[in-house]
Structures are given as C-alpha cells and as structure tokens.
Amino acid sequence: MTRTALVLGAGMVGVSCALALQKRGFTVTLIDRREPGRETSYGNAGVLARSSIAPLNNPSLYGKLAGYLGNGHPALNLSWRRALTRPGWLLRFLWEGRPSQAAARIAALDSITASTVERHRALMAEAGVAHRLRENGTLKLWRSEAGHAAAQAEHHFLKRHGIASRLLDRQGISAVEPHLNPIFRAGLLIPSNASVDSPGAVTAAYAALFAGRGGQIVQAEVKALTRQDAGWRAATDKGTFEAGIAVVALGPWSGDLLKPLGLDPRLDVERGYHRHLKPEARATLSRPIYDVDAAYFMAPMEQGYRVTSGVDLSFRDAPDAHRQIDGVTEAAREAFPLGAVAGETWRGARPTLPDSLPMIGEAPGNPGLWLAFGNQHIGFSTGPITGEMIAAMVCGETPPADPKPFRPERYIG
Ligand SMILES: Cc1cc2nc3c(=O)[nH]c(=O)nc-3n(C[C@H](O)[C@H](O)[C@H](O)COP(=O)(O)OP(=O)(O)OC[C@H]3O[C@@H](n4cnc5c(N)ncnc54)[C@H](O)[C@@H]3O)c2cc1C
C-alpha cells in the first residue's frame, strides 16, 4: 500500500494530480465514470488565465449586486429557490468579498496563476498536443464610453502585480482583431494569457500521457470512499480499489463523497453554458475575447466559435436555464459575423468555495485523504499547479505555492 494512490476524478485537476504523483514514483489508479476530460474540463473557454487574480467576490461586487438580483444582467442568473434554500452559502460568499480580505486572496490567486502557461506549455509538449496552444493573449472589450476608465483601472491593477497589458482604442482593437464589428470603444490586450483550441482534448491527452507512463485509468462510478487500516478504499460499480492515499478531485461533485465521512467542504457550484457557432464567410478571431458589457467569452475552438455564458446560480442538477446563453449568443452576433449554431448547448458547473479559492490539502482528521477541488473559474488553468502542490505535500516537499490560503481547515473544522 505504500506509494499507491487513488485519484478520483479525471478532469484537469485529477489528471494533473495523477501525473504529479506518478512523477514521484507512486503507482496511481485514476477513476472516473466518464472518459477523462468530459465534464467541466471539456466545456470551458480554454483560457490559460494568468491574469485572473481578482476574486469574483471582490468589494466591487457589492456595488453591482442591485443590478444583478433582478436577473436582468447576463452576468448572473440567480435561482431564488436555491438562494433561499441555502442562504448561508451565498451570505458567506458575499462576506468573503469584504475589503479586508482582498489583498490576501489576490496574492493567493497570483501564486497559482503565475506559472499557468509555463506548466501547460511543458505538459502539452510532453503529451504531443503543443499545436493546440495559442500564446497570443486574450482581449477584453468594452462597448460603452465608460469602458475606457474601466480598462485603464484594470491595466494599472495588473501592472501593480507585474502583469503587462496594452490599452486599445477602437482602431487598436481593429488592428489586433480585424474581423470584429466596430462596436467596442475600449480594449485591453493581455499577452501573458494563452488559450487552447480544445480543453477536453488537452485533458484527454494529459490522461493518455499518464496511461502511457504506466498509470491505470478505470472508468467506473465511485459510490463510496472509506478509510482502511492502511489507507483508503473506493467502492465503485466495477469493484473496489484500495491504496495508501486517496485524492478527491471530483470537481463540482467533490462534496458528494465527503459528506458520508462527516466532511462538509462548503462546496457549491456556479453553472455555465456554451454553444458553438460557425463563422460567416472567412471571418476569424485569433484569440479569445471577453465582452464585458454582455458578459461572455467567445473563443476560437476546433468545433467553431465557442460562446460561454456568465454564472447561473441554480441547483447543480436543476434543468437548464437558457436565458443567459440565448442572450449572449445574440450579443456575440453583434460583435462578430457568426452563422449557424453547431451542435447542442452544453452545461457545466464551476466548483466554487465561498472565498473563490480552491481547496488543496489533506482533509483534517483523515490522514491520507487529500482534497483538490474548488478551482472555480480557473480550474483548467490551475489544474497542473494544483496537482504539483498535492503531490509535493504528500511527499513532504515544499509545494510550488504557499498552501496556507488553500488549506481545507478554513471550511472543514
Ligand atoms: C462555462 C465555463 C467556462 C470556463 N472557462 C474557463 C477558462 O476559460 N479557463 C479556466 O481555467 N477555467 C474555466 N472554467 C473553469 C474550469 O472549467 C473548471 O474549474 C475545471 O474544469 C474544474 O476541473 P475539475 O477537474 O475540478 O472538474 P471536472 O473537469 O468536472 O472533473 C471532475 C470529474 O469527476 C468525475 N466524477 C464526478 N463524480 C464521480 C463519481 N461519483 N465517480 C466517478 N467519477 C466522478 C466527473 O465525471 C468528472 O470527469 C470554466 C467553467 C465553465 C463552466
């Protein structure tokens, strides 16, 4: 049982944990009910978000709340039933956004995003998918005149944290992305961000790399996780699996297997949607754009132009609510010459803790049970460093980022 590990969940976070443990000599079994990279790690916007260092619930959210609560803004769809059934979570989420917490949380996010592109570049080369990486930044765009001030404020904020960006006016935007319709007044090009043309394929390629190095991938539904004398046991619909340690990396489902162990990580979800659209004529975008006023990403993908929606705060398993994705599909058509929708509308759920930071560490009172989830809006970007942090801590090494802000004890007593 020594140096054996079960990794539960084969999204970007779980696959990264599996690779990092394997690199340190562990015999790893990676278990997922689907093929690797078919859930949240499939449907995201594919942005390697070096610049995402401001937590979603920052002090500026308070000023926007009134505009959001009536469900008139594309950034948020709030199910009042969910809010009233679980008011504690939402209140804690708002409370964690208070000004006194901002600097520490920005520093924490900075520590896990700083090496995002470098880590993915190395893994993509090893996995033979380097051609999927675009290192030409992301472009944030504002339609209104007020966008100039907002772009400037963000430019200065990023500069204070050592992240370069370039302010653009209407002409500058056209020079960078000539096929965008001229509806944007201000832009911010962030060259240190990168993107991929298929996050699902990249996650699958990392899983194939793990398997190629001798790792075992099991497609099975995990029903329960229990402690053994010398480790952990996962009961699945395909039998039981045992190992010295277990890593829970089940994304938005991570809480389900922990609750029977008496552990409540306060994990909730922010649902989101995507659609693919074909471009009209020969229109092209060379990098993901974020339309601030209409609250969507549009990213060039293998399957077409992927438009992703804002946050849907409904119960994780409730039926789809298409108000936001319908709205942003129309808004995207104003920005760029798009034709027909290709394929189905996809729904996923960003795994979120109230302080917008992931949980990375050993579960209190449960030696050998490691938690790696809650990567919220940037889990595709931060999966690799999450895996390295877990594997380093398991082996008693110094992790590549200070683990304190991510310790499970902040929510699990
Ligand atoms: C619309 C949208 C856009 C986004 N855009 C970006 C972006 O541009 N950049 C970025 O960095 N992040 C983005 N994100 C966030 C990112 O996608 C997530 O943070 C990340 O994918 C989470 O990865 P994960 O491995 O934790 O979870 P997942 O990828 O969901 O993996 C969890 C795995 O657990 C498995 N599982 C669950 N329960 C069981 C069980 N009982 N038994 C067996 N297997 C089980 C699932 O099948 C799944 O494969 C976006 C998210 C959304 C929704």
Lowest mean pLDDT among 9-18, 85-94, 187-196, 264-273: 85-94
Say if 340 falls within a structural domain: no
Question: Quick one: pLDDT at residue 70?
Answer: 81
Instruction: Please compute the mean of the pLDDT values over residues 191-195 and round it to a whole number.
Output: 98
Confidence of residue 7 (pLDDT cuts 50, 70, 90): very high
Give CA–CA dist 305/45, Å, rounded.
10
Q: Tell how far the Cα of 41 is from the centroid of ligand 1, in angstroms.
A: 4
**Is residue 178 classed exposed, middle or buried when 0-12, 13-18 and 19+ CB atoms within 10 A define those classes?**
exposed
In the predicted model, what is the mean pLDDT of the chain? 96
Say if 281 falls within a structural domain: no
Tell me which residue range forms the domain holding 110.
1-56+100-133+195-264+355-413
What CATH number corresponds to the domain at position 21?
A: 3.50.50.60
Confidence of residue 238 (pLDDT cuts 50, 70, 90): very high
Instruction: Determine the residue of 350, 353, 359, 382 to mutate for testing ligand 1's pocket, defined as the one with the most ligand atoms within 8 A of the Cβ atom.
Output: 350
Work out whether the CA dihedral 218, 214, 225, 392 comes out positive or negative: negative
Instruction: Determine the residue of 17, 39, 221 to mutate for testing ligand 1's pocket, defined as the one with the most ligand atoms within 8 A of the Cβ atom.
Output: 39
Confidence of residue 55 (pLDDT cuts 50, 70, 90): very high
Q: 3-class SS at 139? A: strand
Q: Angle at which helices 116-126 and 379-394 pack, to 10 degrees? A: 80
Say if 168 falls within a structural domain: no
Q: Tell how far the Cα of 79 is from the centroid of ligand 1, in angstroms.
A: 21
Number of domains in the chain: 1
DSSP 34: S
Q: Tell how far the Cα of 204 is from the centroid of ligand 1, in angstroms.
A: 13
Q: Tell how far the Cα of 180 is from the centroid of ligand 1, in angstroms.
A: 30
Give CA–CA dist 358/267, Å, rounded.
10
Q: Tell how far the Cα of 11 is from the centroid of ligand 1, in angstroms.
A: 6
Return the percentage of the chain with pLDDT > 70, whole number. 100
pLDDT digits (tens, 9 = 90+) for 106-127: 999 999 999 999 999 999 999 9
Instruction: Please compute the mean of the pLDDT values over residues 71-79 and round it to a whole number.
Output: 89
Give CA–CA dist 398/404, Å, rounded.
12
Say if 247 falls within a structural domain: yes
pLDDT digits (tens, 9 = 90+) for 204-221: 999 999 999 999 999 999
167 in Cβ contact with 155 (< 8 Å): yes
Instruction: Please compute the mean of the pLDDT values over residues 140-160 and round it to a whole number.
Output: 97
CA neighbor of 372 nearest in space, from 389, 359, 388: 359
**Nearest C-alpha to atom 37 of ligand 1 is from which residue?**
250
Say if 187 falls within a structural domain: no
Question: Quick one: pLDDT at residue 1?
Answer: 63
CA neighbor of 144 nearest in space, from 171, 103, 184, 199: 184
Q: How many other C-beta atoms can be found within 10 angstroms of the C-beta atom of residue 68? A: 18
Question: Quick one: pLDDT at residue 63?
Answer: 86
Say if 392 falls within a structural domain: yes
For residue 403, what are its two tokens?
């683990």
- List 350's β-bridge partners, or say none: 270
Backbone angles phi, psi at 356, to 5 degrees: 65, 20
For residue 82, what are its two tokens?
């969910």
Question: Quick one: pLDDT at residue 66?
Answer: 83
Say if 362 falls within a structural domain: yes
Question: Quick one: pLDDT at residue 68?
Answer: 86
CA neighbor of 131 nearest in space, from 60, 59, 202: 202
Say if 90 falls within a structural domain: no
341 in Cβ contact with 276 (< 8 Å): yes
Residue 253 φ/ψ region, left for φ over 0, alpha for ψ in the -120 to 50 degree band, beta for the rest: alpha
Over 90: is that where the pLDDT of 413 sits?
no
Give the position, in ligand 1's atom list, of the atom nearest the Cα of 380.
11
59 in Cβ contact with 98 (< 8 Å): yes
List, chain by chain if needed, residues with CB within 6 Å of any ligand 1 atom.
Answer: 9-14, 31-34, 38-41, 43-47, 49, 221-222, 249-253, 272, 274, 308, 348, 350-351, 373, 375-381
Instruction: Please compute the mean of the pLDDT values over residues 193-197 and round it to a whole number.
Output: 98
Give CA–CA dist 114/161, Å, rounded.
10
pLDDT digits (tens, 9 = 90+) for 277-323: 999 988 999 999 999 999 999 999 999 999 999 999 999 999 999 99
Question: Quick one: pLDDT at residue 2?
Answer: 78
